[in-house]
Structure 1
Amino acid sequence: MSDTHAETVSYVRETMLPQQEPPASTVGPLGWAKTNLFSGWFNTVLSVLSGLFILWLAYRLLPWIISPTWQATSLNECREIIGALNKPHGGACWGVISERWKQLMFGFYPPEHYWRPVLSLILLLVALGPLLFRHLVPAKVIYFSMLYPFIAAWLLWGGTIWNPIVAILGFVIIGLSLKFLTSVLNPALALIIGVVLAVIWWVALAGTVAGGLSAVLPIGIEAIASRQFGGFMLSITIGVTAILCSLPIGILLALGRQSDLLLVKAMCVGFIEFIRGVPLITLLFVASVLLNIFLPPGTNFDIILRVIIMVTLFASAYMAEVVRGGLAALPKGQYEGADSLGLDYWQSQRLIIMPQALKISIPGIVSTFIGVFKDTTLVSIISMFDPIGLSNAIRADTAWNGVYWELFIFIGLVFFIFCFSMSRYSMYLERRLQTGHR
């Protein structure tokens, strides 16, 4: 035979195969369950046992939670409603939440002025916009954020409008001192002088000036005493103030602990170790009982302000250690790179070192924030009516004597919403600032 018929023929597909869906057992809920719950005999047994336990727990809890007692006005009325339904597992008495939720939220704040703490909370969200979502909020809103603490204090406590204005003037004094004295003095010394002048203004002159202006032009809203504060309004007031103030103070303490100046380092180390070695409840007792002993007779130092100061100092000590951990995690080359650019100490900290250290410290910082917010419940020990203190007061009422779980579930749920939101924001911020590859 001729070799001309023995030709090699190449089979080349001229069209692509159509794309097919992946196997149903590898994607979606079924694929996730196969990978995570039923990947082996041991995991399968654990998953089945866990599922049975969850079903049993739901069988016992859901009938108790789903209870038609929202309109009840006493524990006895709740029992009558539940008894008429013949529920084998009983039921929750949600009437206490329906009747007392405003008290749990606002304490003994006058009902006709509820709009003031509500407005303060709304404005807080606006003020936090430039800090939490800077890429979404106009930059000029930061000026409102700087004024917000004074606006919120005036809304919550009321009184003459001149009190927050003269308080703002103290910070204006600090700013003017830095502006005019920095050219002839060391910036740190100029800051110290400005702070001293501001303290003199606040302590010796601000009250007199505010009183005089109020007499000439009385503008203000009804004053509310601190003893009327309570519930979640009190917890949010103490927690948010301590959180916002503890971060900058903690940063300064962390830098001071690493300072080459012996006196500055010794003071920062002493403060941090002392505060971390003392329980918060001890500091709260100092704020409640002992602090007035060291003040001049007749001095009226607001109890909420005293508690805020102590909680802030406590949180600052822990925040300093979190930030110091972030600073220690930076390689030495970052510091050398800042020096090679000719930056001074504060420029290198502001532009190179601190942004990286804070990014590393985000989980620890947010954990400290969450801990501080939850620790505000300790003020009930010093007879302040936070949600826990109010729950005791509500149960002292004969109509609700014996109600426990419903109050604590509601309080825990509200705290969970706040703390979970902070945790989610922490994860969002970590993803947004992620620059490396995992």
Structure 2
Amino acid sequence: MAVYTIKKAEKAPLASKGVLLWLRVNLFSDVTNSLFTLLGCYFIYLIVPPLINWMIIDATWSGTKEEIINDGARWIFIFEKFDQFIYGFYPEALHWRPNLAALISIFFILSMNFISNLKIKIGLILVYPIISFVLISGGFGLEIIPTEKWGGLMLTILVAAVGIIVSFPIGIVLALGRQSKMPIVRTLCIAFIEFIRGVPLITILFMASVILPLFFHDGIEFDKLLRALIGITLFQAAYIAEVVRGGLQAIPRGQYEAADSLGLSYWQGMILIILPQALKISIPNLVGSFISLFKDTTLVLIIGLFDVLAMVSLTNSDTNWLGFEVEGYVFVTMIYWVFCFSMSQYSKSIERKYNTEH
């Protein structure tokens, strides 16, 4: 008679689960991968500890510049000039107005994720820019602040936001016009897109600043910031048009035929069937264009507008704070990274939300 013994279950080897498994699969899967991993760790060892020492451990966080004794970062310069970096020359007593506009912007972005009613979304999109502009510029009982005093991070966000929001619908119209069956419309859209994409943004800004006022009568004041916004919007619209056109070309022909079979008009089919799919496909490229625009806002300096990077250069000319430009540029670098990384992560969340491949 056979006797069976039940063996006690043994634990799985440590190398087949958890962190050790991840390390073995991703970093030490073969000899070449292991060598590159060790080489990368060596470079991290050379770069990260000194950087942490300079930025945190040996840094000067308080006091005056005469009391600096360490060789680390002198962040007191950032604290001293912080208001200029954020608001430019905007009156200090009225900082609550751009702050309130920023809070409204955050509420607007979050509300877009939770509101499903299209009419409410369109209403918010139309009302939000007006409220923000009145808060920052003035009017309706608020003191009017000329755009010459706008600057810093506030101006950077404003230029980027206007460029993104306004150029998006214009780019869609240009993309549809480029695919139109009407020769005149198609030719005009192609000419505009190819001309704008064939010249750098700095040229467009010069044209908007110098040539655009020539189209108006003498005595008409044309705001410098408005000129820059028009140039940036037209420039960005051309690139968005090509991104959207790529999304439209990726839609199978059967989708167009399905819209026709339902008896939908051209615009009904585009708005209800074609464009939602094309825009979903184009999300990564669209966000890439928006990130590029956010970084290109630094070019407004050439027409006399002081964004956050320009404010750092300007404050470095202060004779009382000479030699602190490194800290200023590191601070601006971190600001740009935070905003660009946040935009990238937000786009990924949108992709996951509208993913229909399942």
What's the TM-score, normalizing by structure 1? 0.77
Distance 1:102-1:22 versus aligned 2 partners, 3 A rule: farther
Residue 295 of structure 1, aligned match among 216, 232, 253: 216
SS class of match (1:35): helix
Deviation at 1:283, TM superposition (A): 1.2
Distance in 2, Cα, partners of 1:289 & 1:70: 44
Do the aligned partners of 1:108 and 1:228 also contact (CA within 8 Å) in 2? yes
Of 264-273 and 53-62, more deviation after overlay is shown by: 53-62
Corresponding residue of 1:186: none
Distance in 1, Cα, partners of 2:211 & 2:16: 66
For structure 1, the 5+ residue unaligned runs are 1-8, 83-89, 162-219
Residue 113 of structure 1, aligned match among 94, 108, 111: 94
Do the aligned partners of 1:92 and 1:406 also contact (CA within 8 Å) in 2? yes
Q: Deviations over 1:390-413 (max 9, x none)?
A: 111111001222222211111111
Do the aligned partners of 1:127 and 1:142 also contact (CA within 8 Å) in 2? no
Deviation at 1:141, TM superposition (A): 6.6
Deviation at 1:130, TM superposition (A): 3.8
Corresponding residue of 1:389: 310
Deviation at 1:68, TM superposition (A): 3.8
Counterpart amino acid of residue 388 in structure 1? L
Structure label with greater radius of gyration: 1
Q: Deviations over 1:89-123 (max 9, x none)?
A: x3112111011111100000000000000100111
Do the aligned partners of 2:53 and 2:59 also contact (CA within 8 Å) in 1? no
Distance 1:255-1:138 versus aligned 2 partners, 3 A rule: closer
Corresponding residue of 1:71: 62
Q: How many residues align?
A: 357
Counterpart amino acid of residue 415 in structure 1? Y
Counterpart amino acid of residue 124 in structure 1? S
Distance in 1, Cα, partners of 2:33 & 2:237: 44
Corresponding residue of 1:255: 176
Distance in 1, Cα, partners of 2:8 & 2:287: 49
Corresponding residue of 2:20: 30
Do the aligned partners of 2:115 and 2:121 also contact (CA within 8 Å) in 1? no
For structure 2, the 5+ residue unaligned runs are none
Distance in 1, Cα, partners of 2:119 & 2:9: 48
Corresponding residue of 1:94: 75
Tell me whether 1:363 sits opposite 2:344 in the alignment.
no
**For 1:33-432, what aligned pairs fall within 5 Å after superposition?**
33-66=23-56, 67-74=58-65, 77=66, 80-82=68-70, 90-134=71-115, 140=120, 143-159=123-139, 161=140, 220-432=141-353
SS class of match (1:109): coil
Q: Deviations over 1:138-181 (max 9, x none)?
A: 9847534421111111111102x2xxxxxxxxxxxxxxxxxxxx
Counterpart amino acid of residue 13 in structure 2? P
Deviation at 1:374, TM superposition (A): 0.9
Do the aligned partners of 2:163 and 2:229 also contact (CA within 8 Å) in 1? yes
Distance 1:373-1:435 versus aligned 2 partners, 3 A rule: same
Deviation at 1:10, TM superposition (A): 11
Corresponding residue of 1:206: none
Distance in 1, Cα, partners of 2:178 & 2:251: 16
Deviation at 1:288, TM superposition (A): 2.1
Counterpart amino acid of residue 82 in structure 2? W
Distance 1:148-1:21 versus aligned 2 partners, 3 A rule: farther
Counterpart amino acid of residue 121 in structure 1? A
Distance in 2, Cα, partners of 1:407 & 1:58: 20
SS class of match (1:348): helix
SS class of match (1:221): coil
Distance in 2, Cα, partners of 1:130 & 1:68: 40
SS class of match (1:399): helix
Distance in 1, Cα, partners of 2:333 & 2:3: 70
Distance in 1, Cα, partners of 2:266 & 2:153: 42
Identity %: 45
Counterpart amino acid of residue 59 in structure 1? P
Do the aligned partners of 1:130 and 1:139 also contact (CA within 8 Å) in 2? no
Distance in 2, Cα, partners of 1:361 & 1:420: 18
Corresponding residue of 1:185: none
Over aligned residue pairs, what C-alpha RMSD do you find?
A: 2.4
Distance in 2, Cα, partners of 1:381 & 1:335: 46
Distance in 1, Cα, partners of 2:73 & 2:69: 11
Distance 1:21-1:227 versus aligned 2 partners, 3 A rule: farther
Distance in 1, Cα, partners of 2:223 & 2:64: 36
SS class of match (1:318): helix
Relative CO higher for 1 or 2, CA cutoff 8 Å, sep ≥ 6? 2
Distance 1:52-1:267 versus aligned 2 partners, 3 A rule: same
Deviation at 1:291, TM superposition (A): 2.0
SS class of match (1:369): helix
Distance in 1, Cα, partners of 2:187 & 2:63: 60
Do the aligned partners of 2:171 and 2:241 also contact (CA within 8 Å) in 1? yes
